[in-house]
Amino acid sequence: MPESKTLYQQISQLVLPHAEEGKSLSPLTVVDDAALLIEKGLVVASGELGQIEKEHDLTNAKRISLHGKSVVPGLIDSHSHVVFAGERMDEMAMRARGDTYESIAQAGGGIVRSVSALESTSLDELVKEARKRIQHMKSLGVTTLEIKSGYGLSPRLEAKQLDAIEILARSEELDIRATILAHVIPKDQRNNRSNYVAEFLSKTLPDAAERSRVYYCDIFVESGAFTPEEATLIAHKAKELGLKLKLHVDQLHDGNGATLAANLGALSADHLEKTNLQGAQALAASNTIATILPGCGLFLGGENWPNARTLRDAGCSVAIATDCNPGSSMVMDLPLCGTMAATQCGLTLEEALWGITRGGAKALGLDDRGTLQVGERADFVVLNHPNWKSIFYTPGAAPIEQVILQGNAIYLSTP
């Protein structure tokens, strides 16, 4: 008889995030001395070994001992800009001498420099550089990764960035999902904003929506980017085209963006550094996931941390993502973002783990992952430590031993 089932056993702690975060400070169940039974890339059973042995015929199952290590679901990074060209290291140096992210953008730096770099970089080079980052993310436990366009600012150049994302999605082993991002208005069109928005609605967005891997539309709502009115127009068109909505809101100023995201029925409202209490309450009363991006706090310094405790206490479900991008968060490390969500943004370690697993799944509208419950995808991470909290305890050095996607190892650390 060929083995079709695999039983991972001798798991010291198996972390099962709850499907919904709810109000609990501990939105997950930890099972000691656990096992995980998988078949055809799906979870068949997860929980106590004794129970699984009682309930399942394991005669032909292949048994793999994890020797007292812990297991968490595959990490889900629901917000990244990891496909980009060039670097903006000089901007970091400028900030260290007193400039700000905003003053640099106003002086002609920032996002538009990444647009010029995208223009002058070949598709091959673009893919090659992004691949290194994605492989690093994979080695840190990520099994599902969202990647945005938004450095094109024209139909032709957005297509180039989306082509790169598609090439990576086809050739890398993790599940990559693309988003078309309305990022900023090009400098030379800022006096004629409505023309730019019209072209985005009639060409950029429909072209992107035709691609099978583009599931989402995101809009940067901010004083230097799109207004709430422009965002509303784009959001309606995106929905008409079958795309799900995500928004960058309240990053640099409180623009009532969280309320806008809730009113527009967005899947997620991302950033939220400056969100007011009404915004938090609006998100809590909606199905929109509050996504925090602590990499921006680390990278930009100053007042750039979101208050995730306020969001949770208001009743929001909180996801955590890297926002990996060259300007505001050159951070590829999702476990590190979880650590910062706890130490800088007020989450418990259990909420932080929920945020980088099930929270990410919900921020992407994916119901088939993030909890390791029966029937879900068998995407999981083996930690080289008996305690699951080790994933947050050594910032920048999470003990990731194995990363498994649909039952197959996609990363094994070298001993």
Does the footprint of ligand NIG cover residue 216 (CB under 6 A)?
no
Q: Could you tell which of ligand NIG, Fe ion, none binds residue 220, using a CB distance below 5 to 8 A set by kind?
A: ligand NIG
Residues in CB range of 150: below 8 A, 6 or more apart: 81, 111, 158, 161, 180, 181, 182, 183, 218, 220
Does the footprint of ligand NIG cover residue 326 (CB under 6 A)?
yes
Binding track, positions 328-367, relative to ligand NIG; x by CB under 6 A = x---------------------------------------
Q: Which stretch binds ligand NIG (CB under 6 A): 261-269, 321-329, 343-351, 366-374?
A: 321-329
**Count of residues binding ligand NIG (CB under 6 A)?**
13
What is the footprint of Fe ion within residues 315-334 (CB under 5 A)? 323
CB of 327 to ligand NIG, least distance (A): 2
What is the footprint of ligand NIG within residues 230-289 (CB under 6 A)? 248, 251
Q: Print burial letters for 58-94: b (CB count within 10 Å at least 16), e (below 16).
A: beebeeeebeebbbbbbbbbbbbbbbbbbebeebbeb
Q: Which stretch binds ligand NIG (CB under 6 A): 124-132, 257-265, 318-326, 394-402?
A: 318-326
Cα–Cα nearest to 246, from 214, 210, 201, 206: 214
**Measured from the CB atom, is 273 or 323 closer to Fe ion?**
323
Q: Which stretch binds ligand NIG (CB under 6 A): 31-39, 49-57, 322-330, 363-371?
A: 322-330
Does the footprint of Fe ion cover residue 129 (CB under 5 A)?
no
Q: Could you tell which of ligand NIG, Fe ion, none binds residue 5, using a CB distance below 5 to 8 A set by kind?
A: none
* Phi, psi torsion values for 188, nearest 5 degrees: -75, 0
Distance CA(76)–CA(4), nearest Å, equals: 27
Q: Are 369 and 376 in contact (CB under 8 A)?
A: yes
**Nearest residue relative to Fe ion (C-beta):** 323
| Site residues (vs ligand NIG, CB under 6 A) | 81, 110-111, 114, 220, 248, 251, 296, 323, 325-328
| Residues binding Fe ion (CB under 5 A) | 323
